[in-house]
Chains A and B, each alone.
Chain A
Amino acid sequence: MKRIYCKIEKCLACRSCEIACALAHSEYETLVDTLRDQKGVKPRVHVQFVDEEGTLRKVRALAIQCRHCDEPLCAQACISGGIKKDEETGEIIVRLDKCVGCWSCIMVCPTGAISKNENMHQALKCDNCPDKEIPSCIVACPTHALIQEEYDSPQNHEN
C-alpha cells in the first residue's frame, strides 16, 4: 500500500505539516477558529527529532504518522474492536464511535503515531486524508520532504 514517508535529510522540523493536519481534521475553515476549538483539535502527524544538536540547517528530524502496519499491534490491543485494517486498501481505520479512550493503542504503537484527544476520549491518528487527492501534510510541506509512495526497497528513497 501507499504510505506517507518523510525524507529525513529534507525535513526542517518547521511543523507546517502539523498545522495543516490539525486544520484539515477540524470542523473549521480557518486556523484561528481551529485553535479556539474546545474539543481538542490535534495534528495526527508528529515532528520528531532524530538529532537535536546543531543548527536548524543541520537538524535531522522527521514527520511521523501512522505506518498502517501489516500486523497492526493497535488493532490487536484495541479493547473495543474499533481499530481494524481495511483488507482492500490496507489502511488502519479507527472507528471513533467505538473508541473509549483507554489508550491501549498508544500503549503498543511502535512509532508513537497515535495521539490522545483527552477532551473527547478518542484516539487520533493519520487517516491519509480520505477526502483529499493529496494528504494535507504533503501539500503543506515547504521542502517536499513528505511523499506518499509505494516503498519496497530503500533505494527508491534516495534523492
Chain B
Amino acid sequence: MNFLIIGNSAASTSAIEAIRKHDSTSSIVQLSDEEFPLYSRCLLSYYISNTIKKETLLYRSKDFHREMNVELYTGKDFYATRLDVEKKEVICKNNRAFSFDRLLICTGSSPRIPNSIDEGIEGIFAFRNIADAERILEKIPVTRTAVVMGGGLIGIKTALALNTAGIRTFVVARSNYILSQMIDPSSAQIVSDHLREQDIQIFFETDVSEVLTRNNKLAGVRLSDGKIIDCEILVAAKGVSPNTGLIDGTSILKDYGILTDAFMRTSNENIFAAGDVAQAFDIVLEKQAVNALWTSAVQQGRIAGLNMVGQKTSYNGAIGMNSLNIGNLSLISFGITHPIDDSQYKVLVNNQPQRNIYKKVVIGADNRIKGIILLGNNSNAGVLLSLIQRKTDVSLFEEELLDDRFNFGKLLKYGGESEMDRYYKGMY
C-alpha cells in the first residue's frame, strides 16, 4: 500500500502515528510546502511574544519522520498543485508526480486577506506560519504601535502577544463585541475590560478603510470613521478559509471545506481529508462543518489514518472549542454560546462580576447541552464537554451545571451504575 499525505501539521502527524501503529511497512510519502520541521502553529503567538524559544515550537522530535519511516519532501517546489483522481497521482509545483493508493489531504487553511491589504508593504502581515512570525519578530524592535484587524480568537491572541512584546496594540473589530464566534456579549464585555486593563484598546464596529504608507513602509491606518492610528505593524486576522484548491477540477465534493463522511473519507473512496480543510460532522450543529481547531485536526487525522490502514473507526464528531487566557483570566467555550433564536433553547447563567466569573450553558429542547461559556473558574471544563460529547440528557441536574462544585463526582451521582462502571473499568 502506498500512502500519500499532503500537509505537515496536526492532522497529518496524528494520521502518520495512527497508520504506523498498525502498519510499519507500507510506504508513506508526505509533501509540505513549508521548510521548517514539524511545528505547532498554535504556539506562534507565544513565539512572537518571546515567551518560548524557537525549538519549543517543534511539535514532535526532529527525528519524527525518520522514526516513522516517512519519506518527507518539503519546500515551495513540493507545493501540491494538481490532483489526478483517475491516475491516482498528485503533481507538485516542480512538476514531479507522486502516485498513491490512498491519499490524505491535510492542506489546512489560509488567512483571509481583505482587499484593502497589500502584503507587499513592509509592516503588513497575515499571521499564519513560521515565516510570518519571523518577519513580525524582525519588525518588533522598531515598532511602537501595532494594529490588529479582527476581534476574533486569532486577533485577540495576536494582540495579547504583541502587547506582551512591549508594543502598544489596538484591535479593530467589525462587530460590536469581540470573540463573537466564541462567546456572548456579556462575557465579551468582561474580556474587553481585561484587555483594556492590559493597555490593549479595542475599536468596535469599524474597520481599516485605508492603509497609509511612507516609502512603501506602513505608517498608519485610517479607520472607517476617519480616525487615524500611526502604526508600524498591521496584522490581518480576519479568520481563515480552507485550502481546497487541490481538488479543483476533480469530482471530489466540497461545500465550504472538503466534504468528509464519518470515516474522514471524501466522496472518492481512496481519498481522505482531515483538519482545517475538511468539513466533518459537528456534534452540536448536527451537520458537516469546518472546525479549524488543533484538537479537531488531531482527532480527524487519527480517524483518517486508522481507516486508511483498514482499521474501520468512525468519528464521533467535532465540537467548536477554544481556550484563551488574558493574564490570569481564563476563558473556555464550547459549541453554540449565543443562539440567534433563543426561544428554542434554555439558557442558564451564573454571573459573579465581583469574582470575574461568568458561566453560561445553552441547553436544547432535547435536554442536551449545545454550548457553554466558562469564564474565570473552569477547572471542570472537560467534565462538561464530556456531557456534550456523550449527548447526555441533563434535565435532572441542569441547575447544578454552573455550580463551582459541579465536577466528575456529580457525574458518578447522576450517571448511576453505568457511570461507576466506566470509572472502575478505566473506560476513558
Size of B's binding interface in residues, CB under 8 A: 46
Encode contact with A along B415-428: 1 for CB under 8 Å, 0 otherwise: 00000110111111
Contacts of A112 in B (CB 8 A): 379-383, 407-408
> From residue 34 to 72 of chain A, which have CB atoms closer than 8 A to chain B?
46, 48-52, 60-62, 64, 67-70
Sample 29 A-B pairs with CB under 8 A, ordered by A number: A5-B424, A8-B412, A8-B420, A49-B410, A50-B409, A62-B409, A69-B426, A73-B295, A77-B298, A80-B43, A81-B40, A81-B58, A100-B43, A100-B56, A102-B42, A102-B323, A107-B322, A108-B381, A108-B385, A110-B386, A112-B380, A112-B382, A113-B408, A114-B379, A114-B382, A115-B379, A151-B425, A156-B424, A157-B424
Q: Which residue of the partner chain, among B46, B323, B382, B424, contacts A151 with CB atoms under 8 Å?
A: B424
| Inter-subunit contact A103/B330 (CB<8 Å) | yes
Encode contact with A along B56-83: 1 for CB under 8 Å, 0 otherwise: 1011100000000000000000000000
Q: Which residue of the partner chain, among B295, B379, B409, contacts A104 with CB atoms under 8 Å?
A: B295
| Inter-subunit contact A79/B294 (CB<8 Å) | yes
Q: Is B302 an interface residue (CB 8 A)?
A: yes
> From residue 362 to 380 of chain B, which have CB atoms closer than 8 A to chain A?
378-380
> From residue 65 to 97 of chain A, which have CB atoms closer than 8 A to chain B?
67-70, 73, 76-77, 79-81, 97
| Inter-subunit contact B412/A98 (CB<8 Å) | no
| Inter-subunit contact A98/B413 (CB<8 Å) | no
| Inter-subunit contact A73/B382 (CB<8 Å) | yes
| Inter-subunit contact A101/B325 (CB<8 Å) | yes
Contacts of B385 in A (CB 8 A): 107-108, 110
Closest residue on chain A to residue B384 by CB atoms? A112
| Inter-subunit contact A110/B428 (CB<8 Å) | yes
Contacts of B322 in A (CB 8 A): 107
> From residue 396 to 415 of chain B, which have CB atoms closer than 8 A to chain A?
405, 407-410, 412-413
| Inter-subunit contact B420/A79 (CB<8 Å) | no
Q: Is A138 an interface residue (CB 8 A)?
A: no
Closest residue on chain A to residue B60 by CB atoms? A81
Closest residue on chain A to residue B10 by CB atoms? A79
Encode contact with A along B314-344: 1 for CB under 8 Å, 0 otherwise: 0000000111010010101000000000000
